[in-house]
Amino acid sequence: MYRAPRGTTDILPPEQPYWRYVEQKAADICQLYGYERIDSPLFEDAGLFIRTVGAGTDIVEKEMYSFEDKGGNQVTLRPEGTAPVCRAYVEHGLHNQPQPVRLYYFADIFRYERPQAGRYRQHHQFGYEAIGDGDPVLDAEVIDMAWQLFVSLGLGRLTLNLNSIGCKECRPEYLKRLKEYYADHLSELCRDCKARLDRAPLRLLDCKNPDCQRLAQSAPKSIDYLCPPCAEHFNHLQQYLEALALPFIINHRLVRGLDYYTRTVFEIQPEEEGSQSTLGGGGRYDDLIEELGGKPTPAIGFAVGIERIILNLKRQAVSVPALRKPQVFIACMGGEAKAVAVKLAATLRRAGIGVIEAVGDRSLKAQLRQANNLGVRHTLIIGEDELKTGTVALRDMSSGEQKNVPLAQAPDLLR
Ligand code: AMP
């Protein structure tokens, strides 16, 4: 017996209304804010992610699905959505378009993680990027858009965490202070943090180990080390968020797990759970496009896991609309009737009326039971009598009422 690979799931029909609901709300929000859709390949040159996400990160160190293809190329299944969009921006010269370029995507994401509730090896993200401007108004727009997405989905009890981690001018000094602080507390750190103190000191701030969390409380804060332009950017952003009445809190321990972030970082979390359950997050990445061979181009983006959204929709008992299904079933008795039924089904479908046809040779009773289970509103029945008279029996499934109508009139009546 084959099973879906560990950490992957099949999305069966009963789950689909949640997916369509989220995709529709996300696409509506993008339209409202002027973001256009982009789709990038499922796999990329491995170097793209190593270079941008960063060699010392969990994603690159432990989680990438990388392999050599038959042509000897090192490729990686997309472990995040931002780098491919930026690669496309540079490759297609999108800097020639009016800036910023606003793009959104739905993407399958692959990470070799330990599967648990809300954590998979293949998951799906909705994300968007605004590339080509450093104005904090754009940060506010991107954050507002994320918040409004959750509002429109009907999700409540969320917190918006905000931080600024500075730029390449001011961050080195901060990292130096951070390392000095932790060096004084080396014996209290967990094994992982001891190992990453040198190459990824920011990651010590969001370690889940209780001792490390306690230490992080009193660690130096990045916002105390911002250079004047970064500080001004952060102040303006806060003013805009206040003007938008977004209930943000500044979280000094929020750093995000990828190397490319600069200045603004933010995450949205459900109130009842810890940081394991982050719904979505994003931030600025002002050096990334240049890193990929483009001109220096500031940018900011956000991504959210669709499985996590659906988990929270269910937890908060948000009801989602059912998907449209055919409302007509055609039942028939005997071989000759079948030919008429096939033609009738085709006529109705060509007229835009959804139809499910009986197949096989079940009794009329069994066919009506099937129609009932499908939840259709009407069943058309073709038996011997109907064949003789060129009619069809039209049955209303909720009342059980039935009347014979001329075959040719069925489409108009059903419409
Ligand atoms: P990240 O790129 O790590 O910030 O991820 C963005 C969002 O994707 C997270 O906030 C989660 O909602 C979701 N996500 C990340 N990793 C996984 C995973 N392994 N399984 C399911 N959802 C995930």
CATH number at residue 355: 3.40.50.800
Nearest residue CA, atom 3 of ligand 1? Answer: 257
Q: Is 274 a residue whose pLDDT tops 70?
A: no
Residue 271 and residue 129 share a domain: yes
The answer to whether position 190 is within a domain reads no
Instruction: Note whether 106 and 124 are within 8 A (CB).
Output: yes
Instruction: Give residues (CB < 6 A) around ligand 1.
Output: 80, 111, 113, 118-120, 123, 125, 257, 278-281, 303-305, 307-308
Q: Which of 250, 281, 315 is the last residue of a domain?
A: 315
The answer to whether position 177 is within a domain reads no
Average pLDDT for 384-412: 96
Q: What is the pLDDT of residues 334-354, one digit of tens each?
A: 999 999 999 999 999 999 999
Residue 287's pLDDT is: 96
35: nearest Cα among 147, 128, 139: 128
Residue 178's pLDDT is: 95
Average pLDDT for 82-97: 98
The answer to whether position 69 is within a domain reads yes
Q: What is the pLDDT of residues 156-215, one digit of tens each?
A: 999 999 999 999 999 999 999 999 999 999 999 999 999 989 888 999 998 989 999 999
Nearest residue CA, atom 14 of ligand 1? Answer: 305
- The more confidently predicted of residues 259 and 114 is 114
Other beta carbons less than 10 A from residue 140's beta carbon: 22
Average pLDDT for 107-131: 96
Rounded to the nearest whole angstrom, what is the distance from the C-alpha of residue 368 to the centroid of ligand 1? 46
Q: 356: Cβ–Cβ under 8 A, 6 or more apart, which residues?
A: 326, 328, 329, 330, 374, 376
Q: How many structural domains comprise the chain? A: 2
The answer to whether position 231 is within a domain reads yes
Residue 93 and residue 152 share a domain: yes
- The rounded Cα 413 to chain-centroid distance in angstroms is 42
Rounded to the nearest whole angstrom, what is the distance from the C-alpha of residue 305 to the centroid of ligand 1? 5
Q: Which atom of ligand 1 is nearest to the CA of 125?
A: 8
Residue 273's pLDDT is: 67
Q: What is the pLDDT of residues 368-382, one digit of tens each?
A: 999 999 999 999 999
Q: Which atom of ligand 1 is nearest to the CA of 127?
A: 6
Residue 145 and residue 43 share a domain: yes
Residue 136 and residue 232 share a domain: yes
Q: Which of 294, 315, 336 is the last residue of a domain?
A: 315
Per-residue pLDDT band for 248 (boundaries 50, 70, 90) equals: very high
Q: Is 302 a residue whose pLDDT tops 70?
A: yes
- Rounded to whole angstroms, the Cα distance separating 338 from 331 reads 9
Nearest residue CA, atom 10 of ligand 1? Answer: 280
Ligand 1 probe mutation, 304, 306, 310, most atoms within 8 A of CB: 304
Average pLDDT for 115-121: 93
Q: Containing domain of residue 379, as a range?
A: 328-414
Residue 337 and residue 293 share a domain: no
Residue 144's pLDDT is: 98
Rounded to the nearest whole angstrom, what is the distance from the C-alpha of residue 281 to the centroid of ligand 1? 9
Q: b/e string for 154-182 if b means 16 or more Cβ within 10 A?
A: ebeebebbbbbbbbeebbeebbebbeebb
Rounded to the nearest whole angstrom, what is the distance from the C-alpha of residue 110 to the centroid of ligand 1? 10
Q: Is 264 a residue whose pLDDT tops 60?
A: yes
Report CA-CA distances (Å) from 60 to 54, 125, 200: 7, 18, 13
Residue 276's pLDDT is: 57
Q: Is 275 a residue whose pLDDT tops 60?
A: no
Rounded to the nearest whole angstrom, what is the distance from the C-alpha of residue 210 to the centroid of ligand 1? 22
Residue 50 and residue 80 share a domain: yes
Average pLDDT score, the chain? 95
Q: Which atom of ligand 1 is nearest to the CA of 115?
A: 19
Average pLDDT for 99-106: 98
Per-residue pLDDT band for 117 (boundaries 50, 70, 90) equals: confident
Residue 310 and residue 240 share a domain: yes
Nearest residue CA, atom 13 of ligand 1? Answer: 305
Instruction: Note whether 371 and 357 are within 8 A (CB).
Output: no
The answer to whether position 388 is within a domain reads yes
Nearest residue CA, atom 11 of ligand 1? Answer: 305
Per-residue pLDDT band for 57 (boundaries 50, 70, 90) equals: confident
- The more confidently predicted of residues 277 and 70 is 70
The answer to whether position 116 is within a domain reads yes
Per-residue pLDDT band for 257 (boundaries 50, 70, 90) equals: confident
Ligand 1 probe mutation, 78, 307, 310, most atoms within 8 A of CB: 307
Rounded to the nearest whole angstrom, what is the distance from the C-alpha of residue 93 to the centroid of ligand 1? 29
Rounded to the nearest whole angstrom, what is the distance from the C-alpha of residue 119 to the centroid of ligand 1? 7
Residue 377 and residue 236 share a domain: no
Residue 271's pLDDT is: 85
The answer to whether position 6 is within a domain reads no
Residue 163 and residue 290 share a domain: yes
Residue 244 and residue 117 share a domain: yes
Q: Which atom of ligand 1 is nearest to the CA of 282?
A: 4
Per-residue pLDDT band for 12 (boundaries 50, 70, 90) equals: very high
Burial class (CB in 10 A: 0-12, 13-18, 19+), 4: exposed
Rounded to the nearest whole angstrom, what is the distance from the C-alpha of residue 57 to the centroid of ligand 1? 15
Residue 119 and residue 264 share a domain: yes
CATH number at residue 100: 3.30.930.10
Q: b/e string for 86-98 if b means 16 or more Cβ within 10 A?
A: bbbbbeeebeeee
